[in-house]
Amino acid sequence: MSTIMTIDAAQEIEKTEIDMLSSRLEALQAMNGNPMQVQMKKFGSATSFSSKVIAGPTFNTVKGLTFTNTDEIDEIISYYQSLQIPCRFEITPVQGTAELFQYLSQKGFYHSSFHTALYSIPREDQSLLPSNISVRQLKENEFDVFADIYVRGFNMPSFTKDGVRQNNEILFNKQGWHFFIAEVQNVPAGIGVLYTNKGVASLAASATLPEFQRKGCHTALIQKRIETAVESSCNLIVGQARFGSGSQNNMERAHMKIAYTKSIWTSQYV
């Protein structure tokens, strides 16, 4: 793939996001009794994701929406209302039209934030690796450590730790999922996740303990995942980050380019 950003390239990047989230939620949905109450549903080009148990926008969002008619958008909004889950739309520049934005506004939605999508052709750069940080594959019995780093790194409530452990542990033996841990002088400091599918690698998640932040752990985890993408013969690597964040900056230092910024639309009635 060329690194020139085109409409087709942007659509491929978003499809990669949809495929990654679908793979994660399919694994949760397949758990006995679907305890996380996960649902996924197609509405034309759009895919809706939801979990009545896992609150927040990560698993409760709509991706891939294009404006074809108002009925489709009305169906999506009604669907989330029936689930009693706030509806949230992620709109890329490819999909963004005056008609779509005007109609979302009429339905009580507002543009609440931006989110950055990044991409590159995977290539390793050992010069970026801090000498005092090592990164290795996570072992199957280390998901308690993984969850602790994740929850503390994202400043989440401690009661969410068991859910984070369970939601990631279930992916350990699933095709395409790779889990890594960064250590500073043999002390666990950060975690990173990679998803590979059909020649495309996705930087799925990464977190660093507060006391080890801004010391190079995130950069080391990015490089390890790029190395794995190269070993997996991937011809594209993508990632997402809050606009202007340290995570975005670290991906840019690893030679990833900004593909676009998504606009996030949220209901004003939440």
Single out the residue of 248, 240, 247, 180 nearest to residue 16, CA to CA. Answer: 240
**What mean pLDDT value characterizes the chain?**
94
Instruction: Tell me the CA distances in angstroms from 179 to 126, 248, 256, one per residue in order.
Output: 20, 20, 21
The residue with greater pLDDT, 169 or 270, is 169
Determine the residue type at 237: I
Report the relative pairing of strands 61-63 and 187-197 from DSSP bridges. Answer: unpaired
Over the stretch 30-55, which tens digit does the pLDDT of each residue have?
999 999 999 999 999 999 999 999 88
Q: What is the 3-state secondary structure (H, E, C) of 201-261?
A: EEEEEEEECHHHCCCCHHHHHHHHHHHHHHHCCCCEEEEEEECCCHHHHHHHHCCCEEEEE
DSSP state of 140: G
pLDDT in tens, 122-167: 987 777 677 789 999 999 999 999 999 999 999 999 999 999 999 9
pTM, to two decimals? 0.93
Domains of the chain, CATH where assigned: 7-117+262-267 (no CATH), 126-234 (3.40.630.30)
| Segment 70-120, tens digit of pLDDT | 999 999 999 999 999 999 999 999 999 999 999 999 999 999 999 999 999
Q: d(Cα 50, Cα 41) in Å, to the nearest integer? A: 9
**Residue 140: burial class (beta carbons within 10 Å; 0-12, 13-18, 19+):** exposed
**225, 118 Cβ separation under 8 angstroms:** no
